[in-house]
Amino acid sequence: MSVFGEDGFSTRQVHVGADAIDASPRALPIHLTAGFRFGDFDGAANHFGTGDGFGYTRTGNPTIEAVERKLASLESGVQAQLVASGQAAVAITLLGLLSAGDHLVVSNHIYEGTRGFLLDSLSRFGITTDFVGDIDDPDAWRRAIRPTTRVLFTESIANARNDLVDIAAIAAIADEHGIPLVVDNTLATPYLLRPLEHGAAIVVHSASKFLAGQGSVLGGVIIDDGRFDAERSGALFPHLVARTRTGGPSFAEQHGGLARIAYIRESVAPRFGPTISPLNAFFIGQGVETLSLRVRQQSANALEVARWLEARPEVASVDYIGLPSHRDHALAERYLPRGNGSVFQFTLRGGLEAARAFVESVRVFTHMTHLGDVRSLVLHPGTTSHAFRTDDEKDLQGVQPGTLRVSIGIEDLDDLLQDLDSALRATAAAAIGGSPIDGQAEGLTDTVPA
């Protein structure tokens, strides 16, 4: 049947059956392949010359591209780049915008991995960062901007104190300076909030979290609004307006408003190389098909859990923007009409020992470092994600010895509350048996039932 019929065993074992069978699957086909066969001699030359079609998965893959289109659409963006992790999305975005000597202004309340990348990695390339403490104050952002500032960076909902930033106000400041506001929208998801609609220029995500949704794969995505203005901002981003190394037209000349994302797609992502597996891209695409359903249920559960925790005597405070007690609640009502997300922290009066007892007695909640999963998760930041922060830094994030971070899943609410109830009872028992720590003695007496 095939041209290989007459060939030897080894030739047939690699070639027979390798021709794609033409079919029309309803689900997204997984093009799990390093590269693509060229149609003919000119097709190969054309691909390398213009980038048309597919040649090698590091520079493009139909499965990956299908998911990129879906995510660009859901974030109200124009073009997206999927990468291997959320950390890669942050790194590739900033490497696509910044050069040695540049400066960026960043919200203080950001993911630890991003913070480390800025302070330990970008700093080695002469790129410096200033952090804004009072992120609600537009003037604090304005004051931090220098002549070398090229990016403002923030998270939409901060992990896990739930600080919110007025995206439109900060985007307006970025715009005054002709620089992009980049928003890590991992905790909000595009179902709850679309920063590009409020003036941000680029959105990044850890797709490992809510987008994939089931904790099975890592991925990240960069989504651009397609509105790079070479006339206004070209001088600030010379790599986007300069002729190419070989004298060809600049990215701005070739791609207009898409120059920024084109540079990321063609020059930064494939060269630094954190390519996502097409299989992982498939899982993310599959996850996103149920994003609205999951996030709606997770937000509804989280609000009920947060209200319930706030009413418990063992709990000193709950940092959830859905609660009127949160300082950014009014902002949340404006920016998050569909729900307030499902990742937040709360602090036990019983301190470290209570936290230990809590994480060791949950049954429905899973004790792990992840978020945005269909399953409810709990973590003790003080001894894990924030263990190497100074006490001042922990204070700033509201991370105390008794603080726990939760990511609320889609389980039945009654089962979650029952699990939390028995875990809180275990903390009371630990407080009776344990000794006061870290000045929490006052709290401990509160915890012990009379």
Ligand X SMILES: *Cc1c(COP(=O)(O)O)cnc(C)c1O
195 touches ligand X by CB under 6 A? no
Q: Identify which range of 34-42, 146-154, 203-211, 405-413 contacts ligand X by CB under 6 A.
A: 203-211
Q: Identify which range of 51-59, 85-93, 257-265, 266-274 contacts ligand X by CB under 6 A.
A: 85-93
Q: Tokens representing 315?
A: 């709990």
What is the C-alpha separation between 254 and 261, in angstroms, rounded?
Answer: 12
Q: How far is the CB of 132 from ligand X (least distance, A)?
A: 17
CA distances from 61 to 158, 246, 251, 275, 369 (A): 33, 26, 22, 10, 31
Q: How far is the CB of 105 from ligand X (least distance, A)?
A: 18
What is the C-alpha separation between 170 and 179, in angstroms, rounded?
Answer: 11
85 touches ligand X by CB under 6 A? yes
Q: Tokens representing 90?
A: 């942050």
Kind and range of the H or E run holding 84: none
Locus of tokens 């990956």 = 64
What DSSP designation does 311 have?
T
Locus of tokens 């919200």 = 107
What is the contact mask toward ligand X in residues 329 to 368, using x (rule: CB under 6 A)? ----------------------------------------
Q: Identify which range of 60-68, 183-191, 347-355, 441-449 contacts ligand X by CB under 6 A.
A: 183-191
Out of 86, 96, 278, 339, point to the residue binding ligand X (CB under 6 A).
86
**Strand ranges, E, within 305-417:** 315-319, 343-348, 366-367, 377-379, 403-407
Out of 75, 155, 225, 373, point to the residue binding ligand X (CB under 6 A).
155
User: Scanning residues 107 to 126, which ones bind ligand X (CB under 6 A)?
Assistant: 111, 113-114
Residues of 91-126 as b/e, b for ≥16 C-beta within 10 angstroms?
bbbbbbbbeeebbbbbbbbbbbebbebbeeebeeee
Out of 149, 186, 297, 345, point to the residue binding ligand X (CB under 6 A).
186
Q: How far is CA 105 from the centre of its chain?
A: 18
Q: How far is the CB of 94 from ligand X (least distance, A)?
A: 12
81 touches ligand X by CB under 6 A? no
Q: Identify which range of 80-88, 115-123, 319-327, 396-404 contacts ligand X by CB under 6 A.
A: 80-88
Out of 68, 75, 166, 184, point to the residue binding ligand X (CB under 6 A).
184
Q: Identify which range of 118-126, 179-187, 271-279, 428-436 contacts ligand X by CB under 6 A.
A: 179-187
What is the C-alpha separation between 108 and 111, in angstroms, rounded?
Answer: 9
Q: How far is the CB of 208 from ligand X (least distance, A)?
A: 4
What is the C-alpha separation between 330 and 333, in angstroms, rounded?
Answer: 5
By CB under 6 A, name the binding residues for ligand X: 85-87, 111, 113-114, 155, 159, 184, 186-187, 206, 208-209, 218, 220, 371
